[in-house]
Amino acid sequence: SDYSKEPPRHPSLQINSKEPFNAEPKRSALIASYVTPSDFFYKRNHGPIPIVEDINRYCVEISGLVQHSKQLFMKDIRNLPKYNVTATLQCAGNRRTAMSKTRTVKGVGWDVSAIGNAVWGGAKLADVLELVGIPKLTSVTQFGGKHVEFVSIDRCKEEKGGPYKASIPLSQAANPEADVLLAYEMNGEPLNRDHGYPLRVIVPGVIGARSVKWLEAINIIEEECQGFFMQKDYKMFPPSVNWDNIDWSTRRPQMDFPVQCVICSLEDVSTVKPGKVKISGYAASGGGRGIERVDVSVDGGKTWMEASRSQKRGIQYISDAADSDKWAWVLFEVTADIQHSTEIIAKAVDSAANVQPEKVEDVWNLRGILNTSWHRVKVQASY
């Protein structure tokens, strides 16, 4: 594989793996704004970044279980109604490093910033599918039924040199309310190479692995995609499963991400001056479930206070769910009086009243995915 033509990247990113390039911003940079600038948006790759030289010849082939397959050029995609969807993308491996500290896991290490929130601009997949005769649907069934497979231009070793691919249920793909996009813009600018230029899929509320970058083809298929990242990766196993007894076929590919919440204003161990300390971070949930509450404790979990939440720059309470960006994170903030060294914890509740697991051990799994355990940081009070 050829890593000699990688794009430039911001020097402040923390690099977790160089080839393929995997990097995340510093905690403080991550929550500096509600919309994450593309420079500071985590980059998660499985191979070299492909180059699309001739945008006029670039096209996406739609085939499989359709009456007539169709080639879509960029101009065809731009001709469809354009939507801007603010959506949080989170890698299933976010917070893997912390999980691996309790017991070894396999995978790229990530701190807490394999997540970002962007305004994605593009065509709705439901509109694209209508062009090949697939009617819009209004109910989503998570499993069973046909799938829509996304095949990429990039090549990776997990697919033995073949393309990265993934699929989602047709019922989600063809549902305009699921807001699945073929996006050509990120934060009002053309996608850059790291994030999928010229065209990528965005599946809001679902783990990042299904949002295929550098789209090459769309296949309508009878059942879920049989690719590596659907069948041999990104599945959630119980703590008893290890590399000797694993049977991948017993589990389904992970789709929605669970409720998550992280403190970003403090590192794992920080020194603070006794007195008022501002505690802030992000909270997000999958499936379009908004954040109902963020609880923060500064006494190791004995007592809790509620943080304020915002989806704008300043902090304010979101009073009406109808005003909120349903696929996007919230930033939270609370000020606490800290006089002694202590452990600070944050945990969130989503709109379905789902809560986070208290201990990472309870959700430990051999691939180190979905660490959504209560987020804890230690502070040392010192003048």
Name the phi and psi angles at 59, rounded to 5: -150, 160
Minimum CB distance to Mo ion, residue 56 (Å): 31
Length of the chain: 383
Q: Judged by CB, which is closer to ligand MTE: 44, or 367?
A: 44
Give the pair of three-digit tokens for residue 214: 């550098």
Do the beta carbons of residue 255 and residue 207 sit within 8 Å? Answer: yes
What is the number of the residue whose Cβ is closest to ligand MTE?
A: 208
State which H helix or E strand residue 165 sits in: strand 163-169
**Binds Mo ion (CB under 5 A): choice among 178, 209, 215, 266:** 209
Minimum CB distance to ligand MTE, residue 381 (Å): 36
CA pair distance 338, 356, nearest whole angstrom: 25
Give the pair of three-digit tokens for residue 324: 């909120």
285 binding partner (options Mo ion, ligand MTE, none; Cβ < 5 to 8 Å by kind):
none
Q: Judged by CB, which is closer to ligand MTE: 225, or 296?
A: 225
User: Interface residues for Mo ion in 257-276 (CB under 5 A)?
Assistant: none
Do the beta carbons of residue 257 and residue 289 sit within 8 Å? Answer: no
Task: Report the Cα 305 to chain-centroid distance in Å.
Answer: 28
31 binding partner (options Mo ion, ligand MTE, none; Cβ < 5 to 8 Å by kind):
none
Give the pair of three-digit tokens for residue 327: 């696929």
Which of 139, 134, 123, 45 has its CA nearest to residue 84? Answer: 123
Q: Judged by CB, which is closer to ligand MTE: 34, or 228?
A: 228
Do the beta carbons of residue 122 and residue 181 sit within 8 Å? Answer: yes
Q: Judged by CB, which is closer to Mo ion: 208, or 287?
A: 208
DSSP string, 108-162: ----S-SEEEEEEEEEEHHHHHHTTTPPP-----SSSS-EEEEEEEEE-GGGTTS
Minimum CB distance to Mo ion, residue 281 (Å): 20
CA pair distance 261, 288, nearest whole angstrom: 15
23 binds Mo ion (CB under 5 A): no
CA pair distance 268, 277, nearest whole angstrom: 15
Minimum CB distance to ligand MTE, residue 290 (Å): 21
41 binding partner (options Mo ion, ligand MTE, none; Cβ < 5 to 8 Å by kind):
ligand MTE
Q: Judged by CB, which is closer to Mo ion: 342, or 372?
A: 372
89 binds Mo ion (CB under 5 A): no
Q: Judged by CB, which is closer to ligand MTE: 124, or 213?
A: 213
208 binds Mo ion (CB under 5 A): yes
150 binding partner (options Mo ion, ligand MTE, none; Cβ < 5 to 8 Å by kind):
none
1 burial via Cβ count (<10 Å: 0-12, 13-18, 19+): exposed
Q: Judged by CB, which is closer to Mo ion: 40, or 257?
A: 257
What is the number of the residue whose Cβ is closest to Mo ion?
A: 91
Which of 270, 266, 267, 262 has its CA nearest to residue 278? Answer: 266
Number of residues that bind Mo ion (CB under 5 A): 4
Minimum CB distance to ligand MTE, residue 45 (Å): 5
Instruction: Map residue 67 onto helix, strand or coil.
Output: coil
Minimum CB distance to ligand MTE, residue 128 (Å): 18
Minimum CB distance to ligand MTE, residue 89 (Å): 6
195 binding partner (options ligand MTE, Mo ion, none; Cβ < 5 to 8 Å by kind):
ligand MTE
Minimum CB distance to ligand MTE, residue 154 (Å): 5
Minimum CB distance to ligand MTE, residue 101 (Å): 21
CA pair distance 362, 78, nearest whole angstrom: 46
Q: Judged by CB, which is closer to ligand MTE: 92, or 336?
A: 92
Minimum CB distance to ligand MTE, residue 136 (Å): 25
CA pair distance 77, 183, nearest whole angstrom: 9
Which of 364, 340, 356 has its CA nearest to residue 295? Answer: 356
Residues at the contact surface with ligand MTE, assessed by CB under 6 A = 41-46, 89, 91, 152, 154, 164, 195, 208-209, 211-214
User: What does the angle CA 364 – CA 369 – CA 374 come to, to the nearest 5 degrees?
Assistant: 65
91 binds Mo ion (CB under 5 A): yes
Contacts with Mo ion, residue ranges (CB under 5 A): 44, 91, 208-209
